[in-house]
Structures are given as C-alpha cells and as structure tokens.
Amino acid sequence: MLATIDLAIICVYGVFLLAAAYWVSREQDGRDKNTQDYFLASQALPWWAVGASLVAANISAEQIIGMSGSGYVIGLAIASYEWMAAITLILVGKFLLPIFLANNIRTMPQFLEQRFDGRVRLVLAVFWLAVYVFVNLTAILWLGALTIHTVTGLEINLGLVLIGTFAIAYSLYGGLKAVAFTDILQVVLLVAGGLMVSWILLDAIAEGAGPWAGWLGLLAAAPEKFDMILAADHPQYMSLPGLSVLIGGMWIMNLSYWGFNQYIIQRALAAKSLDEAQKGIVFAAFLKLLMPLIVVLPGIAMFVLNADLTQPDQAYPTAMTMLPAGIKGLVFAALIAAILSSLASMANSISTIFTLDLYSAMVPARDQRHLVRVGRAVAVVAMLLAMICARPLLGNFDQAFQYIQEFTGFFTPGIVAIFLLGMFWPRTTANAALAAALGSAILSFALKLGWPALPFIDRVGWVFVACVMLAVLVSLRRSMPQADEAIDLSGIRFETSRSFNLAAIAVSLILTGLYITWW
C-alpha cells in the first residue's frame, strides 16, 4: 500500500502535469487551434521534444510491465526489442524521414494515397484504427490498471477508468503539443524512477551490499537469463529464435513500428525541420540503449528474488511493493507518467487518422475548428471503447508484450513491403499494395495454423519476403509505370550532418559491444 508521502508525491505530479499541459497548449494570441496545431503541434517541435516524446510514447505499461514479465521468463534476450530499435531509429532518420518531410506528409495513410490511391489509404487507415484501439490502447490500459491494483489494491476496473480519464484530461485540449512538451517531464521521471527500482532490487539481491554486488550476484544466480541469442533447444526459442533477432523478422517489426506507425512517427513529422527531427531521432536512439536497465533488469532480478510468481507480468508490480515509502511514490508516479503519455499519444494518433484520413474524405470542406472538435470527440470515444474491451481482450494473457508482438506480426510484413516498395521502386502499383496487405494477413494466418512450430519472428521475415515478391509480380503485370504515382527521390537530401553520422557510429559500436558481451 502507498504511504501518505507517496500519495502526496503522486498528487503533486498529477497537478503539475495538468498545469504544464494547459500552459504549453495555450494560444497566445487567443486564436482557435487548427488541425496543424492540434495534430502536428504546429510543426514546431524542437529536437529534445521529438526525442523525448518518441521514447515516452513507446515506453508504457506494455514495455515496463510486459517486458519485465518477459525478462522474468526469458531473460536479457528480450532486450533485443530495445537495442535493435536504436539502430532502426538511425535508419529511419536517415532514409525515411527525408521522404516524408519532403512530401509534407501528416499521416501514414495520406502517404499511401499520394503514392497509390484512395483504396490503399482507406484499407490501412481502418486497419490502424482497429489495432490502435483494440490492441495497443487496451494493452496500455489493462497493464496500467493491473499495476495500480497490485501496488495499491485499487479495483482494476476503477483503475482503468482513472488512468483513461486523466490521460484524456491533460491531452484533450492541447493535442500533440500538450503530449510532446510534457513528455520531457515524463521521460525524466521514467528514467529516474526506473533506475531507482533496478538499484534497489540489485541491493536486495546483495542483501544490502550495494547494486554492484547485486549485479554480480544476479549473474551468478541466473546465468541462463543472460543469453542474448537463444539456442534452438531453449524453452523460449519460439519467442526469440536465435539469429533472427539480428538478421530476420525483428527488422521488419522494428521498421514497421518506428518508421511507418502513425503513433510513433507523428512526433518526427511535427518537428521544426528535418535537422531537428533527425537530432530527436538520435536522442531517442541513445535513450533506447538505456531502456533495458529500466524495463528488463527488474524482471530478471525478481526471478532471483521470487521465482514463484503466478504470472510473469506481476514481476514489476511486485517489485514496487518492495520499495520504501517516498521512493515508492516517485516510482509509481514515473510508471503512471509512462502510462499516461502512451495513452495520450495513442488517443491523439487515433483522432488524427480518423479525422484527417477518414472524416475529411467523407465530409469535405469543413472548417478547421470543426475538425479539431471531431478529433477531440474521437479521442474520448476511443478511450471509452478501450476501457470496455481491456479485460475481455487481455485478462487471460500472462505475457501481454509477447501477445501484442505476435498479433501485430500478422500484418506488419505487408505494411513494410508496401512502404518500402512504394518509396524505392517506382513501378509498384496500388493493386500490388492491396495484394501485399491482404497477402500478409492470409499468409501469416496460414503459416500460424499450418506450421505452428515456426517462431513468429521467423514467420514475419518469410511473409515479408513473400509479400515483396507478390507485390512485384502484380506490379509487373502493368506494362508501363505511371510517373505521377512514384516518389521522386532526386530532390530529397539523404545526406546527414556530421553529428548525426558520429552518433550513428556510436550507437552501432555500443550495440556491437553489447551483443559480443552477452552472446
């Protein structure tokens, strides 16, 4: 249970967050917000807001609780999702962002219509809305409410309502600007609180001898949890199949998430300039290298401290019950910060896609204020739907993070194939894009049923190859490409600054060292 000082810290955080959100969201000249202000923060985000918001949107209950749960079961190998994301961000900043910003892209479905046609935009917009509401938003709400229940005893349904309502309260007025600028506060709390948890757990393993002694004790007590590349006979090989995390399907998962996911890329699209966006990407990449200390290590430590948990996803909430008063309140506030940031970001992206990609097409020529009101209403409805569906959809899973990855893996191969071919192969047609989207789902489900022994990451890789081949074959049926559909790469600047290049080298060297150490 939380002590009085813990409750006081949480209340101060909540009041400060609301005040900060409304302060950064105000319009100084008294004018009403337009869609550019609400959905893209007036395209004025500095690099530090871009980078912080990327990580804050990404790291939420599904990462902190879900990855700690996977760390409890699998070990450090699950950190590949974080570390491989760092190098993926560098690639997104160098090769994908220049194309999006040069074409003034606001949403991913908009890019698909400009490159292909309205059918592709509609299909993918509906798909993303369904996944965001019924997979991502529900997962964040459920795992957040589960943590609150474990730490405070608060009933789960009430926890769902509280965090969903608060997320809407601080983000509804200001939109992306309120989310992005307050994410600096969220990231500071997240990193500080997460490091405190790891420090205290390691000290507990060492019985008060300090975190370094605890780290050595952890290595000695659970050496099997520190294999980054799992052997074929490992009991969790199906979740992380050996070298596929380095050369296989995980690349497809990461490119889809960091490069073509409205929920994430929207922050970079809202940057002041391409240079600012790329600086923010680099900042986020370095933060991702740090994340396993916060989201994986506590799960491994809890395996040593308590190997008898009934569900792996209880690892992080149980760790929080071991914290002293005051520290527990700060860490709890950090966890709530991560949950709220992701909820607010997801709700904003849902409202962005619905309003700009679906509603505007169905009801054209509406004024900007009307579209902003529609966006706010959609955010509220999406949150209500997620609250209702969270328990039925996720209540029976013991590793929610792995569930989310496998579910999205049915569709991401086709999405990545569509975008990469659309960007870099001019002959790709709209029919080819639709074939890849449909083929991704059909082939994934067929392999899931017909070859159940195939790890889902390997399945993602093979389905991606098949989708590319399918799209190429369908495209080649048209004798001549249409030049007005293709992306003109001739005027796009792929050269990056010296600082970006040095950062890319540093990230690559750090990753190489980590994998060599824990191979």
511 CB burial (10 A radius; 0-12, 13-18, 19+): middle
Domains observed in the chain: 39-395 (1.20.1730.10)
Q: What is the pLDDT of residue 43?
A: 87
Q: What is the pLDDT of residue 356?
A: 93
Q: What is the pLDDT of residue 403?
A: 64
The CA distance from 33 to 43, in Å, is 13
Task: Specify the residue for token string 């939380």.
Answer: 2
3-state secondary structure of 483: coil
The CA distance from 246 to 461, in Å, is 11
Alpha-carbon 94 to chain mean position: 20
Task: Specify the residue for token string 């740090």.
Answer: 290
CB atoms within 10 A of CB 154: 14
The CA distance from 13 to 34, in Å, is 29
Helices (H), 451-497: 456-476
Residue 158 CB partners (closer than 8 Å, separation 6+): none
Could you give the angle at which helices 327-353 and 118-131 cross, rounded to 10 degrees?
150
Pick the closest to residue 97 from 245, 254, 275 (CA basis).
275
Pick the closest to residue 45 from 175, 164, 150, 153 (CA basis).
175
The CA distance from 352 to 36, in Å, is 10
CA pseudo-torsion sign 314, 67, 243, 132: positive
pLDDT mean by block of 10 residues, the chain; 519 residues: 86 88 74 81 90 87 80 93 94 95 92 92 93 88 81 86 90 85 86 90 93 94 92 87 88 94 92 94 95 93 91 84 87 84 90 94 81 93 93 67 72 95 92 95 94 91 96 84 65 88 95 90
What is the pTM (predicted TM-score) of this model? 0.91
CA atoms within 13 A on the CB side of 40: 23
The CA distance from 496 to 342, in Å, is 30
Residue 268 CB partners (closer than 8 Å, separation 6+): 50, 54, 92, 93, 97, 100, 277, 280, 281
The answer to whether residues 461 and 244 touch, using CB atoms and an 8 Å cutoff, is yes
Q: What is the pLDDT of residue 321?
A: 82
Q: What is the pLDDT of residue 313?
A: 78
Pick the closest to residue 88 from 117, 58, 119 (CA basis).
58
Tokens of 238: 């199906």
Q: Residue by residue, what is the 3-state secondary structure of 261-323?
A: CHHHHHHHHCECCHHHHHHHHHHHHHHHHHCHHHHCHHHHHHHHHCCCCCCHHHHHHHHHCCC
What distance separates the 2 farthest-apart alpha carbons in the chain? 73
The CA distance from 439 to 467, in Å, is 6
Q: What is the pLDDT of residue 62?
A: 66
Task: Specify the residue for token string 């940031």.
Answer: 341
The CA distance from 270 to 99, in Å, is 14
Q: What is the pLDDT of residue 150?
A: 74
The CA distance from 446 to 442, in Å, is 6
The answer to whether residues 230 and 77 touch, using CB atoms and an 8 Å cutoff, is yes
